[in-house]
Structure 1
Amino acid sequence: MVSRGRRVYSWRVLGGSRGGTAKSAAAARLRAVRRLGGLGALAGVLVALMLLPPVCAAGMGARDAARWFQEEPDDLDVSGVPQRSRILAADGSLIATFFTQNRIDVRLDQIAPVARRAVLAIEDSRFYEHGALDSQGTLRALASNLSSGEVTQGGSGITQQYVKNLLITQAENAEERRAAQEITAARKIRELRYAVALEKRFSKDEILRRYLNIAYFGDGAYGIEAASRHYFGKPAARLELHEAALLAGVIRYPHAYDPTRRPAAARERRNVVLRRMAELGWVDDAAAEAAARRPLGLRVKRTPNGCVVSKAPFFCDYVQREILTNPVFGPTRKARERLLKRGGLTIHTTLDPQTQRAAQRAVDRHVPPTNSAGKAAAEALVEPGTGAIRGMAVDRDLGSDRERGKTWINFAADASHGSSIGMQAGSTFKVFTLAAALEDGMPFGTRLMAPRSFVPTGYRDCKGRRVGDTKPLRNAADGEGGREFSLVTGTHHSVNTFFLALQRRVGLCDTVKMAEKLGMRQANGEPLEQYPSFTLGFNPVSPLRLAAAYAAFAARGRYCEPIAITKITDAQGRELKVPPARCEQVIDEGVADAVNHVLRGVLTRGTARGMGIGRPAAGKTGTVDGFSAAWFAGYTPDLAAAVWVGDPRGGYKHPMTDLCMNGRCYGAVYGATIPAPIWRDTMVGALAGRPASSFVRPPARFFSRGSGELDRAPDVRGMRLGAALARLRETGFRARLGSAVASDVYPPGTVASMSTGPDGTVILRVSRGGDGPRRDSWPFRDPESPRDVADDGAGRAGTSP
């Protein structure tokens, strides 16, 4: 033990050697100063700095030199220190971080006083007493370093070190970084001139704060806050003495004293800091000795960088691409990338963690990431009325597709936000034809003949050009044809030839315009192509676009452009501009209510029956030609979603027929086979614990021909003519009177027979009594009708629901 007045030091504990007196230490420093001339490059730099005034005076005159040195440099910029950006979910939970340097800028009062003292003790103990240059401290540190044979104390003051770090950080290329670090008198003079300017511009506390926030603490941690969280899992405000001393010691040589790689060297360096703090009287001896005995106590917590390890990787990637591609965040991609990775942004998003978890579990359950068939699934969920993207899931990890179960392509988004060229949407596009027909004033009971095959002629695109083909289109295996359907039953059964006929009646252009009003475009950003099979969904689109379109029906005709970002603040807390949702009422509320009414039946009586979720919901299946892909788009008043299942290698080359995945086999995959169950499971999980909302009943005008829910006309034989006509009108059928017929079964004046005419009108014939052959069963074929209401044939090919 060595006594110095009131201080008692255990040099063994603190990392020093026993013995020695203040007198001998002083003598050693004096001897070191005398050897200044032999110190090489470092000594030359220091001498140049100390001789700066006479050197400048000799070259330009003392007055001019002094003025030049005291003037603030034009190129002094203290902004642009990289800070990490965070992407947050709607509930404030962390989705991902982005950075070139892992740094969190904090106020001085957010740094523990003991940490400030530790840094000052080892780097610049006279910081609050000197100006930009501390010649006394520089010589003292130089002598100490020479006498000990190693660098134990810093030569440059805190302000100069801040300047050096600032110039390195702001360097845009390797040449600028070399210039900021080269050991030359010119660099030191430049740093000192900047330091003089900063001492005028900022208070000592502010300079110290900036220094502690910019310094590198090793192992990828920049700034004391990030370093504290990285090494000890706590904020800098809660640092204890032994922890503060460890971080302070790392600053001088971060690689040599990195505690994760060189713990012994880091501990020795920490104890040097503790000894220095005790020498200065900034901690008492007992505390310094106790801290020196403690282990390093590391609890290393690494900060992930980017989306790969995010719990919502493809949504994260969508947000990243939104920032990198949208000019609102900067004039060039380089500027936007700099903002994201260096700007210390806090990015608030629309993602709902509950919805995201439900979606990810659903797609992974039904289409496992490494499934044996190589299929993929994607789902996007949008909130009606706001456009907020609440979830986005792909059954893959984000990464190179060279590894099984990974991909960089976001199948849920457009090419601009995920590199996907989109997928044909199948019969989910029929909803746009339905909406156009309802907007045109057609009631639910409107009936059209759906032949078993349909030659797509008689169409014109929006430029008035004839488009069409003589190749017949047919119904799919899960569709029906060869008879009449109403708007309701044709949709429920997703009859291709019915919708081709309906699209021709409404107009191809009106159908396309309806889709465009609802935000639809090709996934590559191009306008939708216009051909007769438009209603069958040949255009390649993304699940996100389709979900947003269906969300507009849920929002009673109000379409909102999908958004992922709600608010962004920069490192100073300033709010930045973000892209708006751009909501607009694009179709009449009543028309949207009518669409909702029809699509609700798809889940109860149509192609997706049995896929209800225990609350009001609507939707539409879609199976692409040749079973190359399958879709389901569905919604409640509170949430809309679109699900795609297909093969990234090419659906036509790898169709979903005779498909087996992980031990489960399917003969053929329709929209209701895998996509609808994914949607159902997602919605049940996403909406759990949330109140159910109801749809609005459609206006009465849509029921002017009945509900349209019957596939065939009700049997009105035996009823008086007036009652029979009323019954048919109630159920959406048009009727007309044919010639009377003889009947021994039905009394005179009652309906004796029914048939349908070519235009779908029900033809009623009244009995005139029994003076002819009996006709005691129906339906019977009428010579005026090429096909009666009982024709129940079904086609078996083509694009399906």
Structure 2
Amino acid sequence: MIGAVLGIVGMSVIAGVLVTAMVTPALAVTGIAANNSIGMFENLPSYIKPDQLAEKTNIFAKDSAGNPVLLASVFDQDREEVGWDQISQYVKDAVVATEDPRFYQHGGVDIASTLRAAVGNAASGGVESGASTISMQYVKNILVQRADAITDPTQRDQAYEEATQTSIDRKLKEMKLAIGLEKEFTKDQILSGYLNIASFGGRVYGIQSAARYYYGVNASDLTLAQAASLVAIVNEPNGLRIDVPDNIPANQARRDKDVLASMLRENKITQAQYDEAIATPVTPAITQPSTGCTTANGLGAGFFCDYVLHIIQNDSVFGADQDTRWENFKRGGYQVYTTLDVDLQTQATAAIQDYVPYNWDFDLGSSLVTVQPGTGKVLAMAQNKDFSADPDVLAVTPSASAVNYSTDFEYGGSTGFQVGSTYKIFTLADWLTTGHSLNDVVNGNKTTFNLSNFRNSCNGGYGGTYSPANDGGAAPGNISVLSATAQSVNNAFIAMAQKLDMCEITKTAEAFGVHRADGNPLDQNVAAILGTNEIAPLTMAAAFAGVANNGVYCTPIAIDSITDSQGNGIEVPKSTCTQAVEPKVAATMLYALQGVINNGTATASNPRDGIAHFGKTGTTDSEKDTWFVGGSSKLATAVWVGNTVGTVSIRNSTIRGNSGGNLRHYIWKQYMTAADGKYGGDDFPSPDSTLLNGVQVAIPNVVGMTIDAAKAALAGAGFEMQDGGPIDSSAPAGTVVSTNPTGSASRGSTITVNTSNGTLVKVPNVVGQKASDAAAQLIGAGLTPTGIPSNNQQGVVSAQNPPADSEVPRGTAVALTVGAALPGR
């Protein structure tokens, strides 16, 4: 009762007197007058507010029912704060009995203990005992926690030293703050606060995490023996922690001789309970906590988890600078609910595992990313590696990697991969935006392009020439843009770009969120439209999702929501959606891109499950990288298979018995078939009729004109002319003899014009003529008559071969059939 009264009336003054007695020998040594000690004590701060405890952050995906599924936990301190009723009474009694038996009687400073400490300190001539109460230990732990939260190493070390040093100043401050603490909080609040903040060895903090880690149970379910063993650790956390086998005898000795003995002495347990407890050996059941993104590898989601961590570190919504964001995240006890769909992630991981080994003869990589159109949510992210950031693991485990193939370098990824012909969709988008159509005709044959004919309103013109090849040496001639897209004809797209502005093509790509993975600006050289920029798969998946979403691009997001340790919502990065191209352009793009998967270069990717799909293939020089990016109205998925290092031809490689060039298709088809089963898909909108067919214009008849006159006539009708070169013809050399196409075509199409080389002769009609006259006419035309009987020069020609009007080389023999002479002759 005396202690309780002192805690209410004048405790700080009396404590000051006791402190004077306790520290007098030390003060004398330092030359400080003892009568100053009370004044020193009174001038110290008197109030400390317990801070929010550092707690582990949990990262969740969601299952098919939308319930959270733990991917990983991240922490500096493994702590889960629990309430008073969630802590075993054995723990509470053990701490009080062992550390501070008069806890519920004193007012923050134990008078009797302080007096004993004063006597001891006087005998030793120093401050060897501080008579720390639970309240004082709680104060010390609060100050240590504050020190740990400081990001600057020098300031952190200084604060830690001030919180833990053996000094008069610290002990006085601790006492004064403990007294203030007792004025603001109940005893139960102080005790539960202490049990939640205390260290239990290593990175284990708080009684709940200690119970889970050392014994695999909740703090509320600890037995007497287990509770006493954990309380024993608090006295010397790293020396008595029981995950180190050599420490167990010392832990058991303290458990029995100090903790359990104190509980028996203070009547907190019976003799029978005591006997049973000390007869129970210390047998830990170590339960490792889920820590770090490697624990998400079970779902193949380690790289997605790492991507989430990089978002936390990089996005200003989480703090002013990266260090602050990371410290807040590791210590904040956040519950992070991500966009990852466990069902899709499982299917993505399985599809890659089925076709791409995690370790191969060369540096083979693969990535699959799915983005939801309209929301930007990243629903799946898998690759043919297990995630690890541990250098020791990476040094000996070829199947592990710290590099996320799916994301930008700034977000834990690589510097990207060339995307090949998947990039052609942005030329297609600009083609349609500028009023051209899918049925416009361009020349797809291999051509040497004069680069000075290409416009770039951003960076100026180009110089030199460029001679791209078509895949497999294809020479399709004049081809519609629709067919060129389905067949991925390189030269056709270069011909299209020649009619556009290279700067605008780049701006169109950027409107769909496209950027280089290394953070540098997109290259704008002419070859770039064939996919030479190095881009992350996530970026391409999000761009294609924008096409599926009526041309509205939404920035990708990986976090749905976050709550703090108190259950309050935390602001998270939001997806920003913008109109990249007009809906009618997007609809017409989708029409063309359906042709790729239905009857073009990606038929092997087609699930053929009744759901409409679109997409675009991509293969880079030397077949180093292979892609298929596409989707449905509900999901957009990018699959990349390629070299992480080196230039081995994927197409010419056989991997697990499959052609390497087809792996992208097999993965995409298997995965999207499963994904369609969950998400379904709608039919795509019809293409805009004008953007599909263009404005149909009659092609002028330019046969017989000179090449210059023909060009002028075609230009006047709204066409461009491609000189197809001379062909064998009987027309005067240099005059136009044919066009392709003929009839009509959409305005702006390329019309190929061929001129005559004049090497042919048109066979005259000599049937019905006298043989001698027929022979003379054929010879005059440069041909050789045959079949005329020598004794029948007057006979009549009844047939000839080649027939009349045939065009044949000069000197060709014309066989005549000669009958009887004309009557009267």
TM-score, L = length of structure 2: 0.74
What is the rounded CA distance, in whole Å, between the counterparts of 1:287 and 1:143 in structure 2?
Answer: 36
The answer to whether the Cα contact below 8 Å between 1:468 and 1:532 also exists between their aligned partners in 2 is: no
Aligned-pair distance for 1:426? Answer: 0.4
What is the rounded CA distance, in whole Å, between the counterparts of 2:133 and 2:309 in structure 1?
Answer: 40
The answer to whether the Cα contact below 8 Å between 2:76 and 2:203 also exists between their aligned partners in 1 is: no
What is the rounded CA distance, in whole Å, between the counterparts of 1:499 and 1:349 in structure 2?
Answer: 39
Aligned residue among 500, 503, 512 for 1:506 = 500
AA of the residue aligned to 2:105: E
Aligned residue among 684, 689, 694 for 1:695 = 684
Aligned residue among 367, 376, 388 for 1:378 = 367
The answer to whether the Cα contact below 8 Å between 1:424 and 1:541 also exists between their aligned partners in 2 is: yes
Partner of 2:617: 621
Aligned-pair distance for 1:760? Answer: 5.3
What is the rounded CA distance, in whole Å, between the counterparts of 1:319 and 1:61 in structure 2?
Answer: 54
Counterparts of residues 226-265 of structure 1 (less than 5 Å): 226-261=209-244, 262-265=247-250
Partner of 2:73: 97
What is the rounded CA distance, in whole Å, between the counterparts of 1:115 and 1:512 in structure 2?
Answer: 66
Q: Does 1:86 align with 2:86?
A: no
Counterparts of residues 452-467 of structure 1 (less than 5 Å): 452-457=446-451, 458-463=453-458, 465-467=460-462
Judged with a 3 Å threshold, the aligned counterparts in structure 2 of structure 1 residues 557 and 292 are, in CA distance, closer, same or farther, namely same
What is the rounded CA distance, in whole Å, between the counterparts of 2:116 and 2:668 in structure 1?
Answer: 72
Partner of 1:350: 339
Judged with a 3 Å threshold, the aligned counterparts in structure 2 of structure 1 residues 46 and 286 are, in CA distance, closer, same or farther, namely farther
Corresponding residue SS for 2:592:
helix
Aligned residue among 92, 96, 102 for 1:126 = 102
AA of the residue aligned to 2:332: G
Judged with a 3 Å threshold, the aligned counterparts in structure 2 of structure 1 residues 518 and 157 are, in CA distance, closer, same or farther, namely same
The answer to whether the Cα contact below 8 Å between 1:123 and 1:154 also exists between their aligned partners in 2 is: no
The answer to whether the Cα contact below 8 Å between 1:456 and 1:472 also exists between their aligned partners in 2 is: no
Aligned residue among 193, 199, 217 for 1:216 = 199
Partner of 1:471: 466
What is the rounded CA distance, in whole Å, between the counterparts of 1:624 and 1:286 in structure 2?
Answer: 78
Counterparts of residues 188-587 of structure 1 (less than 5 Å): 188-261=171-244, 262-272=247-257, 273-311=259-297, 312-399=301-388, 400=391, 401-403=394-396, 404-457=398-451, 458-463=453-458, 465-467=460-462, 469-477=464-472, 480-587=474-581
Partner of 2:43: 68
Corresponding residue SS for 2:293:
coil
Judged with a 3 Å threshold, the aligned counterparts in structure 2 of structure 1 residues 657 and 702 are, in CA distance, closer, same or farther, namely closer
Judged with a 3 Å threshold, the aligned counterparts in structure 2 of structure 1 residues 775 and 699 are, in CA distance, closer, same or farther, namely farther
Could you give the per-residue CA deviations for residues 217-266 of structure 1, whole angstroms, max 9, x where no partner exists? 12431111111111122222222323222212221122333223223333
Gaps in structure 1 of 5+ consecutive residues: 1-42, 145-152, 708-732, 735-752, 764-769, 783-801
Q: Does 1:604 align with 2:598?
A: yes
What is the rounded CA distance, in whole Å, between the counterparts of 2:37 and 2:395 in structure 1?
Answer: 68
> In terms of mean alpha carbon deviation, does 195-204 or 286-295 score higher?
286-295
What is the rounded CA distance, in whole Å, between the counterparts of 2:198 and 2:362 in structure 1?
Answer: 52
What is the rounded CA distance, in whole Å, between the counterparts of 1:194 and 1:394 in structure 2?
Answer: 54
What is the rounded CA distance, in whole Å, between the counterparts of 1:99 and 1:425 in structure 2?
Answer: 37
Aligned residue among 643, 652, 656 for 1:647 = 643
Aligned-pair distance for 1:302? Answer: 0.9
AA of the residue aligned to 2:296: S
Counterparts of residues 668-747 of structure 1 (less than 5 Å): 669-670=660-661, 673-704=662-693
The answer to whether the Cα contact below 8 Å between 1:445 and 1:706 also exists between their aligned partners in 2 is: no
Aligned residue among 631, 635, 658 for 1:635 = 631
The answer to whether the Cα contact below 8 Å between 2:78 and 2:203 also exists between their aligned partners in 1 is: yes
Gaps in structure 2 of 5+ consecutive residues: 1-17, 121-128, 151-155, 697-718, 721-737, 754-764, 768-798, 809-825
AA of the residue aligned to 1:117: D
Could you give the per-residue CA deviations for residues 448-478 of structure 1, whole angstroms, max 9, x where no partner exists? 221223415311223261125413112112x
AA of the residue aligned to 1:628: K
What is the rounded CA distance, in whole Å, between the counterparts of 1:215 and 1:142 in structure 2?
Answer: 27
Could you give the per-residue CA deviations for residues 751-785 of structure 1, whole angstroms, max 9, x where no partner exists? xx99635955699xxxxxx9999999xxx999xxx
Judged with a 3 Å threshold, the aligned counterparts in structure 2 of structure 1 residues 160 and 692 are, in CA distance, closer, same or farther, namely same
Larger gyration radius, structure 1 or structure 2: 2
Partner of 1:664: 657
What is the rounded CA distance, in whole Å, between the counterparts of 1:114 and 1:706 in structure 2?
Answer: 87
Structure with greater helix percent: 2
Aligned-pair distance for 1:142? Answer: 11
What is the rounded CA distance, in whole Å, between the counterparts of 1:286 and 1:531 in structure 2?
Answer: 86
Corresponding residue SS for 1:524:
coil
Aligned-pair distance for 1:625? Answer: 1.4
What is the rounded CA distance, in whole Å, between the counterparts of 2:378 and 2:547 in structure 1?
Answer: 16
AA of the residue aligned to 2:456: D
Corresponding residue SS for 2:498:
helix
TM-score, L = length of structure 1: 0.76
The answer to whether the Cα contact below 8 Å between 1:604 and 1:610 also exists between their aligned partners in 2 is: no
AA of the residue aligned to 2:170: R
The answer to whether the Cα contact below 8 Å between 1:379 and 1:641 also exists between their aligned partners in 2 is: yes
Aligned residue among 22, 25, 32 for 1:47 = 22
What is the rounded CA distance, in whole Å, between the counterparts of 1:637 and 1:781 in structure 2?
Answer: 56
> In terms of mean alpha carbon deviation, does 420-429 or 134-143 score higher?
134-143
AA of the residue aligned to 2:46: E
What is the rounded CA distance, in whole Å, between the counterparts of 1:45 and 1:617 in structure 2?
Answer: 83
Aligned-pair distance for 1:390? Answer: 1.1
Aligned-pair distance for 1:175? Answer: 4.2
What is the rounded CA distance, in whole Å, between the counterparts of 1:774 and 1:130 in structure 2?
Answer: 133
Partner of 1:182: 165
What is the rounded CA distance, in whole Å, between the counterparts of 1:445 and 1:599 in structure 2?
Answer: 14
Corresponding residue SS for 1:221:
coil
Aligned residue among 582, 587, 597 for 1:588 = 582
AA of the residue aligned to 1:210: G
Partner of 1:159: 135
Judged with a 3 Å threshold, the aligned counterparts in structure 2 of structure 1 residues 447 and 650 are, in CA distance, closer, same or farther, namely same
Aligned-pair distance for 1:178? Answer: 3.6
What is the rounded CA distance, in whole Å, between the counterparts of 2:801 and 2:502 in structure 1?
Answer: 44
The structure, 1 or 2, with the larger RCO (C-alpha pairs under 8 Å, 6+ apart) is 1
Could you give the per-residue CA deviations for residues 283-324 of structure 1, whole angstroms, max 9, x where no partner exists? 333333333333445321112432233221111111111111
